[in-house]
Amino acid sequence: MSTKLNEKQLIAVHLLASGVKASVIAKEISIREETLSRWRQIDEFKDALEDATEAVLREIDETHKNLLILSQSVINEALNNEELDIFKKANLALRYLSLIKGKDDITQKSSENLKEHLDDKEFKFGII
């Protein structure tokens, strides 16, 4: 991140990247929304926002993958549990299969979404 940005600008960058509304950010850091709008036109601010947004998206992607792995592990443990009734196992397996039926590979889809963002220099959250 650029050292040219002041503390309030850096805070605004991280809040914008996290999806916080401009009106909330302005209030929290005691600036006018117009000031935030002007900051968004500064190249250093844009670069910092892009970097922060990429970091947030990567973290979300990684968390998503970890939750998927954990969920599959729990389902696997339940299906391998000798004490669990066969009908409960079948119900669990069928529910899992119905959830993933026709779905793209979650890892591939999230990676493609991140790549699209990284390739799209005009990407915005629609927050102004």
DSSP string, 47-115: HHHHHHHHHHHHHHHHHHHHHHHHHHHHHHHHHH-TTS-HHHHHHHHHHHHHHHTTPPPHHHHHHHHHH
Report yes or no: 127 and 16 within 8 Å, Cβ to Cβ. yes
What is the per-residue pLDDT for 126? 46
Per the document, the length of the chain is 128
Residue 84 token pair: 């669990």
First-to-last alpha carbon distance for the chain, in angstroms, is: 21
> Is residue 1 in a domain?
no
> Is residue 24 in a domain?
yes
Report yes or no: 64 and 29 within 8 Å, Cβ to Cβ. no
What is the per-residue pLDDT for 108? 65
Reading the chain (128 residues) residue by residue, the pLDDT tens digits are 445 899 999 999 999 999 999 999 999 999 999 999 999 999 999 999 999 999 999 999 999 999 989 988 999 999 999 998 998 888 888 888 888 776 656 556 666 666 666 666 445 544 43
What is the per-residue pLDDT for 68? 86
Nearest-angstrom CA–CA distance, 61 and 49: 18
> Is residue 126 in a domain?
no
> Is residue 125 in a domain?
no
> Is residue 127 in a domain?
no
> Is residue 29 in a domain?
yes
Q: Which domain holds residue 113?
A: 7-119
Domain tally, the chain: 1
> Is residue 124 in a domain?
no
> Is residue 80 in a domain?
yes
Q: Cα–Cα–Cα angle for 55, 120, 128, nearest 5°?
A: 75
What is the per-residue pLDDT for 102? 62
pTM over 0.85: no
What is the per-residue pLDDT for 1? 44
Nearest-angstrom CA–CA distance, 4 and 14: 15
